[in-house]
Amino acid sequence: MLARQSSPFGQRNRQGFTLTEIILVVVILGALVAMVVPRLTGRSEQAKVAVAKADIESRLATALKLYELDNGNFPTTSQGLGALINKPTTSPLPENWNGPYIEKPPIDPWGNPYYYESPGRNRLDYDLWSQGKDGESQEDDIFNWKY
């Protein structure tokens, strides 16, 4: 039979962790979290801005260009971006509407609708923008004519 080995402190082999060991692990985990969290703070807002830019510059721009190719003009301001999902019933009626051009309503990452005007006021065929996180016209707005 094997003899039990004693620890240097005269205690027999034991199972489980001591309170000191648990506290040490918690302190180490806390230090790691304290180093990582500040680096991630603000990243979700940066990601939302990137998504809005991609929507404005790519996804919605492509859908609007396809609409214009099919129908000879962009949707009017009154028809709005809804013309990319449902065939407009107001003038000018799109004779060759081949949509839907997008699958879901155009909502920005903050849950607000994108704004659209055609003809655009900024020397473009159309103006497309998001009012950003605050939902108001401010410096955080994302425009198709700023890029």
pLDDT for position 47: 85
Rounded distance, CA 141 to CA 81, Å? 18
Alpha helix ranges (H) inside the chain: 19-40, 43-54, 60-71
Domain 44-143 grouped into CATH 3.30.700.10? yes
In this model, does residue 146 exceed pLDDT 90?
Answer: no
Rounded to the nearest 5°, which phi and psi values hold at 107? -115, 135
SS3 115: strand
The residue extents of the domains of the chain are 44-143
pLDDT for position 5: 56
In this model, does residue 3 exceed pLDDT 60?
Answer: no
pTM of the full structure = 0.69
- Burial of 36 (C-beta count, 10 Å sphere; 0-12/13-18/19+): exposed
Each residue's pLDDT tens digit, 34-92: 777 766 666 778 888 888 998 888 899 999 999 999 999 999 999 999 999 999 999 99
Could you tell me the pLDDT band of residue 14, with boundaries at 50, 70 and 90? low
Each residue's pLDDT tens digit, 81-132: 999 999 999 999 999 999 899 999 999 999 999 999 998 887 778 999 998 8
